[in-house]
Amino acid sequence: MKQEENFVNKLHLKFANFFEVQREVWSECGTRRIDMLLSIQGKYHFGIECKAPDKKRGEQIGRYIQQAHSYTHLKWKYRNDISVQVPIFICPALSYKYFILNEHEIVIDGKKYHQDRHSQLHSHHTFNGMLGVWNVGEVRKTELGFQFVMCNKPFYEHKSYNNTIISRVHEINYNTYIERLCNQ
């Protein structure tokens, strides 16, 4: 079994506890296929595009982002002739595996340049904000669980703390994005 397939299988097992999971879902036009379509009560949908972890060079990362961006313009076959336009999230996240800023302050010509303002597992990251310009988000680990984050805004989060589990869609972020996408 290929490394990417193993990775997607592990994600499927994890996500199946919280979502209706569909694998290898075709676009309405029949030209593209996304790794996973996650749904909550048929109301909220998230597209997940995966690549094998730790196997990307610069041009591969660029193609990965370009692929995910192209998916934002498509509708995906959900069920029984229903197609949905969804936010697209890449996994693994590029922001904490590939684009970690220097962990110290540098002064060049009197100007200060510094590390990202947040820790590696924080939902805010400079690179996540940059991906959001292309309507692409990331599945990001957090200290207590995971989030789907785009442009440093959470769309979904799951966290567990002291035997309390919180799983929720950030409806304002989700609905604002879907409305913007549908009006493009």
Domain ranges (residues) in the chain:
3-182
Confidence label for 106 from pLDDT (cuts 50, 70 and 90): low
What φ, ψ does residue 149 adopt, rounded to 5°?
-125, 135
**2-16, 29-43, 105-119: the lowest-pLDDT one:** 105-119
- For residues 85 and 63, give the distance between their C-alpha atoms in angstroms, rounded to a whole number: 21
Contact 166, 147 (CB under 8 A): no
- Average pLDDT value for residue range 145-168: 90
- For residues 102 and 117, give the distance between their C-alpha atoms in angstroms, rounded to a whole number: 11
- Residue-level pLDDT at 54: 66
Q: Is the pLDDT of residue 108 over 60?
A: yes
Confidence label for 20 from pLDDT (cuts 50, 70 and 90): very high
Mean pLDDT value across the chain: 83
Contact 139, 148 (CB under 8 A): yes
At 167, the amino acid letter reads: S
